Structure formats: structure tokens, C-alpha cells
Amino acid sequence: AQSVTQLDSHVSVSEGTPVLLRCNYSSSYSPSLFWYVQHPNKGLQLLLKYTSAATLVKGINGFEAEFKKSETSFHLTKPSAHMSDAAEYFCVVIPGGGATNKLIFGTGTLLAVQP
């Protein structure tokens, strides 16, 4: 079965320090992978996506993620956290091999940024 595992439900960092949010996926075929962010009481916003081009993907607000097929990982990073980065982050996969646009969501990682 296709799935996504976010390894940490909560991550806390200090402002100005690096951010690492971990995601592993399971897919029989070449997947499409996304990171979405949800700020408190807001909808979902796309941060970045991987669709089989470059394995290092740059997104908005200084975030990037690297697709590592050998590790089945798609971790999200940012060199320096900002207070405005505090939000919930979802790793998402569209499994390969089918025509559907169905998104499979991880359970989310809540990022707290301390001053």
C-alpha cells in the first residue's frame, strides 16, 4: 500500500537555527511528492513539489527538500527558522502508476519556533 510517514509529530527549534522535518514514503512506482504548510486557522499552502526532475527541490520561504530514492525519503529543510514558520507541515504523496490525483497525507508535523 502507498503511504507516507512523518517521523516527528512535534519539532521545536530556536529562531535562526536549522529546521529538519522528516518524511518517508512508500510507493511501488515513481511517486510525486509534496510538502504543504498549514498556518493556524488557515487553509493548506503548497511549499514545494517533486515530480521526477531535479532531486533537490526549492520551494517558497527558503524551504527545500531532497528526494532520496535509496532511502525513500523526502525531508524538508530550512537553514534558518523564522517565527513565521511556526505551523503544521504535511508531507504528501501521489502514488505512481495510476491516473488519479489522489493525495495521501502524512499525519503532520507541528513546528514550534522559540524566540
Partner 1 sequence: EAQVTQNPRYLITVTGKKLTVTCSQNMNHEYMSWYRQDPGLGLRQIYYSMNVEVTDKGDVPEGYKVSRKEKRNFPLILESPSPNQTSLYFCASSFQGRRETQYFGPGTRLLVL
Q: Which C-beta is closer to partner 1: that of 78 or that of 89?
A: 89
Q: Which C-beta is closer to partner 1: that of 14 or that of 28?
A: 28
Tell me if 42 sits within 8 A of 89, measured CB to CB: no
Lookup: cell for 28: 511501488
Considering the complex, what minimum distance in angstroms separates the CB of residue 89 from partner 1?
A: 11
Considering the complex, what minimum distance in angstroms separates the CB of residue 31 from partner 1?
A: 9
Residue ranges that bind partner 1, judged by CB under 8 A: 9, 32, 34, 36, 42-46, 49, 51, 90, 94, 96, 98-103, 105-108
